[in-house]
Amino acid sequence: MGTPEFPNLGKHCSVGDCNQIDFLPFTCDRCDHVFCLQHRSYTSHQCPNANQKDVTVLICPLCAKGVRLNPNEDPNITWDTHVNSDCDPSNYQKVTKKKKCPVPGCRETLTFSNTIRCKDCTKEHCLKHRFGPDHKCPGPRKPESTFPFGNMLRRSQKAESRSNSNSSSTSSSWWSSSLLTAATSFKSSAEAGMQKLSTATTQAIQKAKDGISTSSSNSGDLVEQCVQCPARFSTVGALIEHCEKSHQSNSQSSRSRVTVDVCPKCSKAFRDPVLLVEHVERDHGGTSRA
């Protein structure tokens, strides 16, 4: 066997019926016998130790983790070792209950690569139902219409519902509602008056800018009349000067005047009646009796 230069070159196949000399033999990693190219596999030479390196994995019913069984170890010992060391029952929910597409009839598991969040309903769907008509998207939520005293009215309604069994709280709720209504009416009338004054002043200034004057024929007659008072003037310039001195100063003084409301219990002053209502409900339990 071999050559004079390489006397140990080549080996015979261990299969009795073959016994073929192979210069590139294969050594089985389980039975350590030498085989030729034809009988190198475990099945072809019927290796008795073929199952020693088989991998058997069981899924733990407690934590859903895979437990590998060792060929040279009792499966009961392997199982006890897993239960007493790395078995975590809290992992079962994470593994078994995976997030799925919410569309009825679709059981697609949502992963990082196939998940799309709808910008209207903000729900996650699979790629198949990523468009609105596919998952029957209701559309974006409509903003709730609110008005300035919405929170105050809701708090007043809650106070009234709690006051069905208490007469004192009933009178307090009535006082709060009345004061809130009066404050709202006062604010509306003040805004309307300021708007009317601003419109009249604008008209007078515009009339002066346009050069409308009927005093060119008779400068001695008082033909220009103020829109805010009975005063009359002979020239447009005199009318403008009168409006700037008299009515704008009155408007500014009326704006500078601030109505102060005083709490009847603690004598604390408030410029806004709404703030007084909130103060009474928050600090005095909703009653204003001194």
Ordered mean pLDDT values, 10 residues apiece, the chain (290 residues): 66 88 86 90 84 77 84 84 86 76 88 89 90 87 57 64 55 64 75 78 69 45 71 78 74 56 78 79 70
- Cβ neighbors of 42 (< 8 A, separation 6 or more) are 28, 30, 50
Question: What single letter denotes the amino acid at residue 189?
Answer: S
Residue 60: both structure tokens together: 């733990």
Q: Output the pLDDT for position 1.
A: 54
CA nearest neighbour of 67 among 51, 87, 52, 53: 87
Q: Output the pLDDT for position 45.
A: 87
Q: Output the pLDDT for position 51.
A: 72
Partnered with residue 35 across adjacent β-strands are: 26
The answer to whether the pTM exceeds 0.75 is no
CA nearest neighbour of 87 among 104, 70, 62: 62
21 Rama sector, left if φ>0, alpha if ψ -120 to 50, beta otherwise: beta
Q: Output the pLDDT for position 62.
A: 84
Question: What single letter denotes the amino acid at residue 204?
Answer: A
| Correct CATH for 7-51 of 2.10.109.10, 4.10.1110.10, 3.40.50.1370, 1.10.357.10 | 4.10.1110.10
Q: How many helices and strands, by DSSP H and E, does the chain display?
A: 7, 12
| Range(s) of the chain covered by CATH 4.10.1110.10 | 7-51
- Cβ neighbors of 168 (< 8 A, separation 6 or more) are 287
- Residues 232/226, Cβ–Cβ less than 8 Å: yes
Between CA 39 and CA 35 the distance in angstroms is 6
Residue 162: both structure tokens together: 């709690």
- Cβ neighbors of 172 (< 8 A, separation 6 or more) are 159, 163, 280, 285, 286, 287, 288
Q: Output the pLDDT for position 35.
A: 92
- Residues 67/82, Cβ–Cβ less than 8 Å: yes
Partnered with residue 27 across adjacent β-strands are: 34
- Residues 67/85, Cβ–Cβ less than 8 Å: no
Q: In angstroms, what is the C-alpha Rg of the chain? A: 48
Q: Output the pLDDT for position 164.
A: 56
Eight-class DSSP state of 63: T
- Residues 171/160, Cβ–Cβ less than 8 Å: no
- Residues 271/259, Cβ–Cβ less than 8 Å: yes
Between CA 109 and CA 107 the distance in angstroms is 6
Q: Output the pLDDT for position 213.
A: 45
